[in-house]
Amino acid sequence: MRKTMKMTLAVLASLALGPTAMAAIRVASPISGTVPATTYTATGAFHGAVDVSTSRCNLDPVLAPFAGFWDVTIRTTGVVCYGSGSGNQNEAKHTFADGRVFRLWHFIATADSYDRTCDGCALGNVGATGNATGPHVHMQVDKLGTNDTTWYSGYTVKGEFLDVGETVGYL
Over the stretch 65-85, which tens digit does the pLDDT of each residue have? 999 999 999 999 999 999 999
Kind plus residue range of the DSSP H or E element containing 166: none
Beta strands in the chain (DSSP E): 26-28, 33-37, 50-53, 61-63, 68-73, 91-95, 101-105, 116-118, 122-125, 136-143, 146-147, 161-162, 167-170
Question: What single DSSP character describes residue 77?
Answer: -
Quote the number of domains for the chain: 1
Q: Sorting pLDDT into bands at 50, 70 and 90, what band is 106?
A: very high
- Domain containing 140 equals 3-170
CATH number at residue 10: 2.70.70.10
Q: How confident is the model at residue 41 (pLDDT cuts 50, 70, 90)?
A: confident
pTM of the model: 0.86
Give the pLDDT confidence score for residue 7 in this predicted structure: 57
